[in-house]
Chain A
Amino acid sequence: MSPTDSPVVEITALRKSYGANEVLKGIDLRVRSGEVIAIIGKSGSGKSTLLRCINGLEVFQSGSLTVDGKPLLHGNPAAMRELRQHVGMIFQSFNLFPHLTAGQNIMLAPTLVKKKVGAAAEVQARKLLERVGLAEKFCAFADQLSGGQQQRVAIARALAMEPAVLLCDEITSALDPELVGEVLRVVESLAEEGMTLLMVTHEMSFARKVSDRVIFMHQGRVHEIGTPAELFGNPQTAELKQFLSSLHD
């Protein structure tokens, strides 16, 4: 898997503030197709906000952002709908739709947004459930699934839209420790298959293992960026050194 040069996500001089509090202070980032990027940093460093800007869950005040060459235009529902079809997102709290079965969760967006017909959507949903190791859970509701299973259904749901990039927002933070592995294995398999991934994570050994680049965010800026070997093995700034050492305490 070799990342090609066409950027899937291109972020230029992005600034975002809540009132007077600026949380992103000019972010520049190009994510190439097939690249796996881990974003690390203290809470409040802006890493989740950055991720949420990429699919328009957060509105930013200045700068530009494109996905697959399409610019993110707030206040233009048609453009946002188009852009969001290229960006999948997985949340810390799974956010499965509790009134629908696992299968219906996966089929909802393809049938509504991509106008896929029922049978084709079902074939796809079953295939995706099998891919995340839950082939037998097609008819299960969220409250009949463990946290790890719910998160894997959420991954399948995001994949059903065939996104160009998948955003993972601390997707194992709400899981019991023994369930973390099953979710990370799915993510790892996606990385191996060449999916472009941007993930905010606290799982440092996982970030080290699967990512092509690691971003260390500090106070709303990209403080350090590089390969896992560079960042974890030879941190350049005092902040990153401190952050990494705090993890070992």
Chain B
Amino acid sequence: MVDFTLWDIFRNLLLAARWTVLLSLIAFIGGGLVGLALLIARIAKLRFADRLVAGYVQLFQGTPLLMQLFLAYFGLALLGWDVSAWLAAGLALTLYTSAFLAEIWRGCVAAIPRGQWEASQSLALSFGEQLRYVILPQAVRIAIPPTVGFLVQVIKGTALASVIGFMELTKVGKTIANATLNPFLVFTCVALMYFLLCYPVSRYAKSLERKLHVAH
């Protein structure tokens, strides 16, 4: 049996952490774009959009992320598509993130007083101009802290992608634990990695919150 030094464990976990970071970024950027589209469809009062988006949000908020990953991985395979763990994990996490962000952001837009809509409407601004120049700049201020806070949930959520064989931090940790027969040490290191990823993000969210509070 191979002897693992603590450095070996750390080195391998660090390499695996890259995929955790990458998967988080995909989820966040993809989810952010889809979430923004859902948000705009909803506030533009497009036909049926309100109900459809509300249903979509309920669906992803009301089922475990683990099931969403399984369904993306095995469900798409059933339909005859050859899905890699990458694609399935990226897709499931993107949809999951988009649902939560659409809901978080909807609350932020709803927090902008109706008078802002009415004043900009009275000035003959189009719907797009109202959003772009009046509503979203104010909503973004409110949205940044909860959005960054949610990023932490997404980073931790990527751990679940290990169950469909995605080689990220948790999956690699499991593999090393099996090889070293020292799961306590290895998973302590894994937990530490997650903490090192998440803690700065939480701190950043807190400092943003303070800064935006002071600004206006």
Whether both chains belong to one complex is answered with yes
Q: Which of A68-88 contact B (CB under 8 A)?
A: 77, 81-82, 84-85, 87-88
Please provide the 5 A-B residue pairs with the shortest distance between their CB atoms, ordered closest to farther: A95-B119, A109-B123, A84-B124, A95-B115, A89-B122
Q: Which residues of A contact B122 (CB under 8 A)?
A: 55, 57, 84, 87-89, 158
A: interface residue count bin:
20 to 34
- CA separation between A95 and B120, bound complex, in Å? 9
List, in ascending order, chain A residues with CB within 8 A of B119's CB. 89, 91, 95-97, 154
- Whether the Cβ atoms of A113 and B115 lie closer than 8 Å is no
Contact A57–B115 (Cβ < 8 Å): no
Interface residues of A in 44-94 (CB under 8 A from B): 55-57, 77, 81-82, 84-85, 87-89, 91, 93
Q: Which of A82, A87, A96, A109 contacts B125 (CB 8 A)?
A: A109
Question: Chain B interface secondary structure, helix, strand, loop or mixed?
Answer: helix
- A157, B118: Cα distance in complex, Å: 14
Q: In the complex, are the beta carbons of A161 and B115 less than 8 A apart?
A: no
Which B positions have Cβ atoms within 8 angstroms of A?
A: 113, 115-116, 118-127, 129, 133-134, 137-138, 141, 216
Taking a contact as CB atoms under 8 Å apart, the answer to whether A112 and B133 are in contact is yes
12 contacts between A and B (CB under 8 A): A57-B118, A57-B122, A77-B126, A84-B124, A95-B113, A95-B119, A96-B119, A97-B120, A98-B138, A98-B216, A113-B123, A158-B123
Name the B residues within 8 Å of A57 (CB-CB).
Answer: 118, 121-122
**CB-based contact A161/B116 at 8 Å:** no
Contact across chains for A161 and B124 when beta carbons are under 8 A apart: yes
